Amino acid sequence: MLAGAAAQAAGAGPDPGTPWWVWPLALFFACFLMGIVAVPAGIGGGTLFVPIVGSFFPFHIDFVRGAGLLVALASALAASPVLLRSGLASLRLALPLALLASVSSIGGALLGLAMPDRLVQGLLGGLVLAIVGLMLVARRAEFPQVDQPDALSQALRLHGVFVDGATGRTVSWQVHRTPLGMLAFLGIGVLAGMFGIGAGWANVPVLNLLMGAPVKVAAGTSGLVLSQASSAAWVYLNQGAVLPMIAVPSIVGMMAGARIGARLLNVLRASVVRRLVIAVLLFAGTRALLKALAIWP
């Protein structure tokens, strides 16, 4: 019944005879599955939410983006305290980046809500296909070489220390190219606000490959930035684009799935899950583009 409802929504639109409770239930299960695969695939659930729910559910993209921001926010909020205590997220590193991402995400949200639907769908499709490309080519550096921190990084004391769980060793780190990283977060904030999409796919490479944070610190701090940069969610909330009927089952499903996904991390073959996620995103991105071109409305 749930699959049938989603298939209807992806095709000719929802059947008016479908009981209302089918939708929150279908959302819960869809987000539960997304939460499970998000962890082994190394991508935030918020990144999967907007393209998949936007493609296969009947809700207008405005409500999907509003819920997407909250899914990303709630997941980040739930994880941040643990990551902060272990040193895998750095408050000092997150703050300047979150400040810029917050400001620009307001602009992104205003732009996104003012744009015609088909333009949003087209740009979203392009962005999702770009994320797929990034997932295919991006490499990560576990402990990037940072010979000399830049002046801004030194002034803000952007460095830290954590115990690597894999080796049990204490790792100290510092970052460089801080102004460039801050500029990148300005752009990431615009995209996050415009499309309601979690920004971990962009945050982690910038923190890790550009600024030189160890990959675990980059992943943890990326979540912390998401948890602090909630301004775009407020823009959607104030516009009336956040519906509890869509947002709550999505948040609960995604968080429950992520807990299972984290436990299955050692059981599931991450490369297989990652390929599956790439295939689904490829389909969802293409669907968004076809929606924009009115080929598959």
Partner 1 sequence: MNTSADDRRPVVQDAAQLRYAALLDRLTWVGLVMLIGSFVLYVSGWLPSYLPPQRLVELWTLPVSEFVARSGMPTGWAWLGLAHRADMSGLLGIAVLAGCSVPCLLALVPSCLRRGDRAMAWLCVAEAAVVVVAASGLIQAGH
- Interaction residues for partner 1, span 69-128 (CB under 8 A): 70, 73-74, 77-78, 80-82, 84-87, 90-92, 95-96, 98-99, 102-103, 106, 109-114, 116-117
Q: Is 234 in the site for partner 1 (CB under 8 A)?
A: yes
In whole angstroms, how close is the CB of 39 to partner 1 at the nearest point?
19
Indicate the residue type of 254. Answer: M
Name residue, tokens 């998401």.
Answer: 226
Q: How many residues bind partner 1 (CB under 8 A)?
A: 90
Which of residues 66 and 261 has its CB atom nearest to partner 1 in the complex?
A: 66
Joined tokens for residue 187: 């752009």
Per-residue mark of binding to partner 1, 138-157 (x: CB under 8 A): -----xxxxxxx-----xx-
Looking at beta carbons, which pairs linking 150-159 to residues 24 or more positions away fall under 8 Å?
150/176, 150/177, 150/178, 150/179, 152/178, 152/179, 153/178, 156/92, 156/96, 157/92, 158/90, 158/92, 158/93, 158/96, 159/92
**Range 161-220, binding partner 1 (CB under 8 A):** 161-164, 167-174, 212, 214
**Range 254-293, binding partner 1 (CB under 8 A):** none
In whole angstroms, how close is the CB of 161 to partner 1 at the nearest point?
5
Name residue, tokens 């989603």.
Answer: 6
In whole angstroms, how close is the CB of 105 to partner 1 at the nearest point?
9
The β-bridge partners of 162 are 171
In whole angstroms, how close is the CB of 279 to partner 1 at the nearest point?
27
Q: Pick the binder of partner 1 from 239, 271, 279, 297 (CB under 8 A).
A: 239
**For the CA atoms of 171, 172, 177, 183, what is the dihedral angle to 10 degrees?**
80
In whole angstroms, how close is the CB of 19 to partner 1 at the nearest point?
9
In whole angstroms, how close is the CB of 249 to partner 1 at the nearest point?
8
Q: Pick the binder of partner 1 from 8, 10, 14, 118 (CB under 8 A).
A: 14
Indicate the residue type of 253. Answer: G
Whether 26 contacts 2, CB under 8 Å: yes
* Torsion over CA: 141, 142, 145, 146 (sign): positive
